[in-house]
Amino acid sequence: MAVYTEVSDDEMRDFIAGYDIGDVVSFTGIAEGVENSNFLVHTETGPYILTIYEKRVNPAELPFFIDLMEHLAARGLACPTPLHGRDGQVLRQLCGRPAAMVTFLRGMSAKRLNTGHCGALGGALAQMHAKGADFAATRANNLSVAGWRPLFEQCRTGADGVKPGLEAFIAERLDFLEAHWPQTLPSGLIHADLFPDNVFFRTDKETGEEKVSGLIDFYFACTDALAYDVAICLNAWCFEPDGAFNATKARALLNNYRKVRPLNADEMQALPILAQGAAMRFLLTRLYDWINTPPGALVKRKDPLEYYRKLRFHQGVSGPGAYGVA
């Protein structure tokens, strides 16, 4: 989440008047993330999230994301539910851009990840995959292996300014990934961006266990290998702040995922290359944003070299044993 488009008080009041949720009490921009402009909006009936979709989002794909959230919420997944305006529409216009309101989920993202968080995330991810299995619409993953080289070409000239030798390293890894990327793994709906700030937790008062209370930000969701979604989470959840990989957290994530949806032998063996690819995807998008984020945007740029280091770790992994499982 981020803020690129500023909204005046009058513009917000006029927009919210299109819903049956009362008048605006207050609204605040949300700085986390990199893609769209997001606001926490308090009205007389409670808090909501407003998203203004920026230029990087294809407006033609927005109905896919809206329908997906409605599908998952109807099947009991804790995720934002889109609001329909008085005219019955979900997608509306604000400041000349497409915009939508969704329900607010209770809970907090984890600031210090522990094994309990990772285990709970694994189960929630598998539940999302299971509940999305009968979602009829599909969307190609334009940030999978076929999309990485075109993205690299848009930022390669600035790569060595971030780290000497980075351009040659990325080019070599792209050659490898394109030649070895798995093509026949089970596929379906994936989140594709399930970072810790996109997962909310609440602590069970009786057991003290961490429970997932919501998954958010489905605007990278697409159709791809289900195990690729798992690999994205291994990268996002199982590395310590000092860069060390935590196999105990990975074991908890994988084991809880497999309790809901077993990973077959091919998926398990593919985890190292899928994790390399997941690291490449975020290395490239972060590199692009690092170079191209406009001055003055209320957005936190994220370090691309974090994912360079993760990619290097997975290069040295030969099998799933490094992730804490047989």
Per-residue pLDDT tens for 246-266?
A: 999 999 999 999 999 999 999
Domain check: are 122 and 91 in the same one? no
Least confident range of 80-84, 201-205, 294-298: 294-298
In a domain, 17, yes or no: yes
For residue 67, what is the domain's CATH number? 3.30.200.20
**DSSP state letters, 41-92:** EEETTEEEEEEE--TTS-GGGHHHHHHHHHHHHHTT-----BPP-TTS-S-E
What's the longest Cα–Cα distance across the chain? 59
- From 45, 77, 103, the end of a domain falls on 103
Domain check: are 49 and 168 in the same one? no
Domain check: are 96 and 196 in the same one? no
Question: Which residues fall within 8 angstroms of residue 245, CB to CB, at 6 or more apart?
Answer: 238, 239, 313, 322
Alpha carbons 27 and 78: distance in angstroms, whole number: 23
Which amino acid makes up residue 78?
A
Mean pLDDT taken over the chain: 94
Assessment of whether the complete model's pTM goes beyond 0.85: yes
User: Which percentage of the chain shows pLDDT scores above 70?
Assistant: 96
In a domain, 192, yes or no: yes
Domain check: are 223 and 257 in the same one? yes
What is the predicted pLDDT for the residue at 312? 98
Alpha carbons 282 and 314: distance in angstroms, whole number: 14
- From 73, 103, 133, the end of a domain falls on 103
For residue 133, what is the domain's CATH number? 3.90.1200.10
Domain check: are 58 and 169 in the same one? no
Question: Which residues fall within 8 angstroms of residue 241, CB to CB, at 6 or more apart?
Answer: none
Alpha carbons 302 and 74: distance in angstroms, whole number: 34
Alpha carbons 128 and 130: distance in angstroms, whole number: 5
- From 103, 133, 166, the end of a domain falls on 103
For residue 1, name the pLDDT band (cuts at 50, 70, 90): very low
Domain check: are 177 and 74 in the same one? no
Residue located via tokens 């008085």:
86
What is the predicted pLDDT for the residue at 204? 85
Domain check: are 124 and 167 in the same one? yes
What is the predicted pLDDT for the residue at 31? 73
Categorise residue 253: left if φ over 0, alpha if ψ from -120 to 50, beta otherwise. alpha
Domain check: are 197 and 222 in the same one? yes
DSSP 139: -
Number of structural domains (the chain) is 2
The parent domain of residue 34 ranges over 9-103
Taking only the tens place, the pLDDT of each residue in 311-323 is 999 999 989 999 9
For residue 4, name the pLDDT band (cuts at 50, 70, 90): confident
Domain check: are 96 and 183 in the same one? no
Taking only the tens place, the pLDDT of each residue in 157-175 is 999 999 999 999 999 999 9
- Nearest of 132, 156, 149 to residue 74 by alpha carbon: 132
pLDDT of 14 over the 80 cut: yes
pLDDT of 286 over the 50 cut: yes
What is the predicted pLDDT for the residue at 55? 72
